[in-house]
Structure 1
Amino acid sequence: MANAVEAVVVFGMRARAQIVSIIAGCIVALAPACVHAEEGFDTEHIFGFMIGTDVGNLGEREFQSQTTGRFGKGGGTYRAIGQEVEIEVVPLPNFRIEAGGIVTLHDITGVPDIDDRRQLNFQGASLDLRYRLLDREQAPFGLTVAAELHGDRIDETSGAKGRMYGTDFTLAFDRELTPNFVIGALNLIYQPEWARFEVSGLSEKSSTVGAAFAGMVRLRPDFLLGGELRYFRQYEGIGLGEFAGQALFVGPTAYYQISERSRLTLSWSMQAWGRSAGSGANLDLVNFERQQARLIFGVNF
């Protein structure tokens, strides 16, 4: 009996020692995360299809590679993959400039109202200007205004040759919902575009307005996970003329800080609901794609 009691006591002491060791190990593992998390969020690059209000530090320079895939239309096979390279600089406090060029691969077969083609072409160039009006560390929320100007020789959707010009205006807001742990962002978007196609000689004007919301949670000091919800309405004419269609995109986003100077963002969205003008379908596959994906790699230099 005494031996049995002694065995139980010894077992209990060993189990308690193991539990204490495990708890101590967890505290040690989490302690660096807590210290690192005190630095807060840098929202400049953590979103996939959206933007945050941070614009980088004065004198900062970055190289960025952005791959965007768009898949699925109303029928047939539709794939459009764009590879963009960009250089970002911060010449003044709260002001960022980004210049880039994009090459696009189109693989289109049997899609209604779009000619079949399989081609790889230089699409065009872009200039992105951002100015931060409010710093969320000193105000109730962050606020940045952005304008991305682009000129293209290839239509982004159809791959047809021509001259295309457009500007993406974005009003970005963000705020830490739980300090150092959860952050939310809101984008309000207006995108007027002009196009003149080479073969047909036709000219088109269109505009898109939208609102997007994102939430990101810090799971580790170097890893964020969340999602983006984006709603768009497209119109004919740059002044929001005749309604053409609408779509709601939903999907996850992940951000990984590879090192002190490099980062990776991955985002995927599917069209959860939509409707083109004059259609009773539950998706708008005339003006928008069924799925969109984006991979972003950046490095400071």
Structure 2
Amino acid sequence: MPPRVSGLLAAMAMLLATPLCGRAAEIDTEHLFGFMLGSDVGRVGEREIQFQTTGRLSRAGGNYRALSQDIELEFTPAPDFRVELGTRFAAYAIRGVPGLDDRRQLGWQGVSVDLRYRFLDRDSAPFGLTLAVEGNTSRIEEGAGMPARSTGAEIVLALDRELVPGYLVAALNLLYQPEWTRLTGAMVTEREATVGVAAALLAQPRPGLLLGGEARYLRSYDGIGLREFSGDALFIGPTAYLQLSERARLTAAWSIQAWGHRAGAGGALNLVGFERHQARLIYGINF
């Protein structure tokens, strides 16, 4: 891991652990972040529908654009436990990218189930702590957009703390994403995994508006055992959260690959395994 990344993450961990005066204020971290998770899981009986649009742009050479639209239903059936059911549509416009077939398509991609359990609540503990486990299945390979049968998971440990109650919140995520993919017509199932760590800091200049940024360091591997390193990347970018009304909210985030490299290759960026730009817009409403 680059020294700058490890230094940033160590500083975030110290902030999360440092005792501060005052009680946690009314900041709900469940939907604050664009590419990360907060530890809050909602109140018992709460129901929400969420529309998440993600764009991934620019790879090595040629033109690369991938857009996904997730529709997710969330509900909290018991204290500290949240369930999310989702479906995804995806669009690809790929032309002249080395190693990828030219492709222009739009279609239904797959479904997912996300379960979250909060072990620590910020109101009664030094920080919030939640474990999120998502399972998904897909008929379109995510990177190249090729027809496939893919099964994957995302396991995230989310920590957060209000450094200044009601004004400044910090978060830390640790993630592991294994995936099994068999392209249509292929005889072999490809196995790969991504691990990462992410940190965020957001401030609330006025009620219902939070501004800040997220930094994510991701490492990819061939195989799910994390033995064959294939590349890594560091993403940094701004995040904004706006409470539109008592029931509606909007989150916007943009990340740019600031550093990365591919195993066995030089250069300051990894545009084979990761995109140059990632953007996300999330609209949610309670009902």
Q: So what's the TM-score if we normalise by structure 2?
A: 0.91
Q: Once the two structures are superposed, what CA deviation does each residue of 1:182-224 show, in whole Å capped at 9, x if it has no partner? A: 0000000001100000034442100111000000000110110
Identity of aligned residues (%): 57
Among 26, 31, 45, the residue aligned to 1:40: 26
Structure 1 segments, 4+ long, off by >3 Å, are 199-202
Q: Which of 268, 271, 284 is the aligned partner of 2:254?
A: 268
Find out whether 1:285 has 2:259 as its counterpart: no
Partner of 1:295: 281
**Alpha-carbon distance in 1 for matches of 2:185, 2:275:** 24
Q: Which of 243, 249, 259 is the equivalent residue of 2:229?
A: 243
Q: Deviations over 1:103-157 (max 9, x none)?
A: 0000000011111000001000010100000001100000000011100000111
- The corresponding residue for 2:131 is 145
- Does structure 1 residue 196 correspond to structure 2 residue 182? yes
Residues 44 and 54, structure 1, Cα contact 8 Å, conserved in 2: yes
- Contact 1:161–1:199 (CA<8 Å) still a contact in 2? no
Contact 1:245 1:287 (8 Å CA) reproduced: yes
Aligned length: 265
Task: Please give the alpha-carbon distance, in whole angstroms, between the structure 2 residues aligned to 1:157 and 1:82.
Answer: 12
Q: 1:207 aligns with which of 190, 193, 201?
A: 193
Query: Is the contact made by 1:164 and 1:196 (CA closer than 8 Å) also made in structure 2?
Result: yes
Give the number of the structure whose alpha-carbon radius of gyration is greater.
Answer: 1
Equivalences for 1:63-142 in 2 at 5 Å? 63-142=49-128
Give, in whole Å, the separation in 2 of the partners of 1:202 and 1:267: 36
Query: Is the CA contact (8 Å cut-off) linking 1:195 and 1:205 kept in structure 2?
Result: yes
Task: Determine which of 160, 168, 183 is the counterpart of 1:174.
Answer: 160
The structure with higher relative contact order (CA 8 Å, sep 6+) is 2
User: 5+ residue gaps in structure 1?
Assistant: 1-37
CA contact (8 A) 1:235 1:244 kept: yes
Unaligned stretches of 5+ residues in structure 2: 1-23
Instruction: Report the Cα distance in structure 1 between the residues aligned to 2:136 and 2:189, rounded to whole angstroms.
Output: 17
Shift of 1:91: 0.5
The 3-state SS of whatever aligns with 1:144 is: strand
Q: 1:35-94 CA deviation, whole Å, 9 max, x = no partner? A: xxx852100001000000000000000000000000010010000000010000100100
Tell me if the contact between 1:81 and 1:104 (Cα under 8 Å) persists in the aligned partners.
Answer: yes
Partner SS, residue 138 of structure 1 = coil
> Which of the residues 211, 219, 230 maps onto 2:205?
219
Rounded to whole Å, the distance in 2 between the matches of 1:130 and 1:195 is: 25
